A = this chain, B = another copy of it.
Amino acid sequence: MEAQHSFSWLDERKRSILQAVIEDFISTGEPVGSRTVARKYELGVSPATIRNEMADLEELGYLEQPHTSAGRLPSDLGYRYYVDYLMEHPRLSNDDIWRIRQIYDRCTRGIETLVQITTQVLAEVTDYLALVLAPSLLSTAVRAIQIIPLSPGQALLLVVTENGIVESRVLQVPPDLDESELARISYVWQKHLRGLSLDQISSAVLRMLASEMSGYRALLDQIMELLEQALSPSDEERVFLAGATNIMRQPEFRDVEKLRMLLSALEQREMVCTLLAGHGSQDQNMDVFIVIGGENRHPAVRDCSLVVAPYRVGEAEAGRVGLLGPRRMEYGRAVSVTEYVTTHLAETLTRFWK
């Protein structure tokens, strides 16, 4: 799916220089000149030599110049080479580890809250915009189904899954349906559906049930429709987002119009879903993948980079965690943090799954 990059061979010195330019640019945000590279990163050669090398790197497509006689900055391809071959992941500081672990130590509330707090901490720790795709419920088993009468004509349908997620809907019911009848319906449903996973409860099963309870046609149709909705909870509701104000600190977003475009796009949750889910399944071994600037499909994020890591519960991928930042983001750190978070998130979620 993703474009295969054909990298030119770079000798050791070119690699060092490329790395120096990228890391300097990442930390300062200013185009990097040959003098700076020679001074800060001691390569034992003069600025003039570095200039020659940098000219080569530009010709090979790894660096760009905003204009003649400015320093160089990395192109998308340069960043790509960097994250694929040069980058190192730093160890997380104790402070970071402490902040992250804190989430998982006191998780008395349900999965939703867990994921939401994860998103917030991720944003706080990294200073980027955090995106998290909550685990899909499709493969979890139904623990209980209940219909609780509220007022004449209204009842509440509750679906509780094995791992403590509660979905509820208000139903319009025939006003003459009394409490004991509702309880009976509740009971029959629960008997048939309990233990099945949400994706096993197909329309077919529902229809079978329907025939068994032909007395309550209208009600059943309604319930079925709602259950089907609950079964495949819209993606929108599974996306969590935090730290939008973080990226406003980045000089690349000094322009409000750019910012508005980006944030408006992120308000559309399906878009975020495809952003997180779209890439990266090609390489099973890669547990973190990175999408750099223009590699992105969505024009709205074409000058952002995205670091995404899936998290698993059992064997299957359950959801994804992402960090969105400027192209000039600290990839190494972002990777370390997402890795750490996904590991511990997966661990904690597994406890919920039993």
Residues of A within 8 A of B (CB): 108-110, 143-144, 146, 148, 150-151, 154, 156, 158, 160, 162-164, 166, 168-172, 226, 244-245, 248-249, 253-257, 259-260, 263-264, 267, 352, 354
Residues on B with C-beta less than 8 A from A172 are 108
State whether A170 and B248 are in contact (beta carbons under 8 Å apart), knowing that A144-B148, A162-B150 are contacts in the complex: no
Closest 7 CB pairs between A and B? A248-B260, A151-B354, A166-B168, A245-B264, A164-B170, A245-B263, A156-B164
Minimum distance in angstroms from A201 CB to a CB of chain B: 18
Residues on B with C-beta less than 8 A from A254 are 256
Residues on B with C-beta less than 8 A from A143 are 148, 150, 156
Residues on B with C-beta less than 8 A from A257 are 248
Give CA–CA (A158, B156) in the complex, Å.
13
Given contacts A148-B160, A156-B160, 18 further A-B contacts (CB under 8 A): A108-B171, A108-B226, A110-B156, A110-B168, A143-B148, A144-B148, A150-B163, A150-B164, A151-B162, A164-B170, A170-B352, A244-B263, A245-B260, A245-B267, A248-B256, A254-B256, A255-B256, A256-B259
Give CA–CA (A354, B264) in the complex, Å.
38
Quick check: B267 and A170 within 8 Å, CB to CB? no
Residue of B146, B163, B168, B226 touching A164 (CB-CB under 8 A): B168
Give CA–CA (A259, B171) in the complex, Å.
42
Residues on B with C-beta less than 8 A from A164 are 150, 154, 156, 168, 170
Q: Jot down 15 A-B pairs with beta carbons below 8 A, ordered by A.
A: A108-B170, A108-B171, A143-B148, A143-B150, A148-B160, A151-B162, A154-B352, A158-B158, A166-B166, A244-B244, A245-B260, A245-B263, A245-B267, A248-B257, A256-B256
Minimum distance in angstroms from A242 CB to a CB of chain B: 9
Give CA–CA (A150, B144) in the complex, Å.
10
Residues on B with C-beta less than 8 A from A260 are 245, 248-249
Residues on B with C-beta less than 8 A from A354 are 150-151
User: Chain B residue with minimal CB distance to A111?
Assistant: B170
Minimum distance in angstroms from A154 CB to a CB of chain B: 7
Quick check: A169 and B110 within 8 Å, CB to CB? yes
Minimum distance in angstroms from A350 CB to a CB of chain B: 11
User: Chain B residue with minimal CB distance to A151?
Assistant: B354
Residues on B with C-beta less than 8 A from A253 are 256
Minimum distance in angstroms from A324 CB to a CB of chain B: 16
Residue of B150, B166, B248 touching A158 (CB-CB under 8 A): B166
Residues on B with C-beta less than 8 A from A144 are 148
Minimum distance in angstroms from A111 CB to a CB of chain B: 9
Residues on B with C-beta less than 8 A from A244 are 244, 263
User: Chain B residue with minimal CB distance to A242?
Assistant: B267
Residues on B with C-beta less than 8 A from A255 are 256
Residues on B with C-beta less than 8 A from A160 are 148, 156, 158
Minimum distance in angstroms from A151 CB to a CB of chain B: 4
Give CA–CA (A267, B144) in the complex, Å.
36
State whether A166 and B170 are in contact (beta carbons under 8 Å apart), knowing that A254-B256, A256-B254 are contacts in the complex: no
Among A172, A260, A352, the most chain B Cβ lie within 10 Å of the Cβ of A260
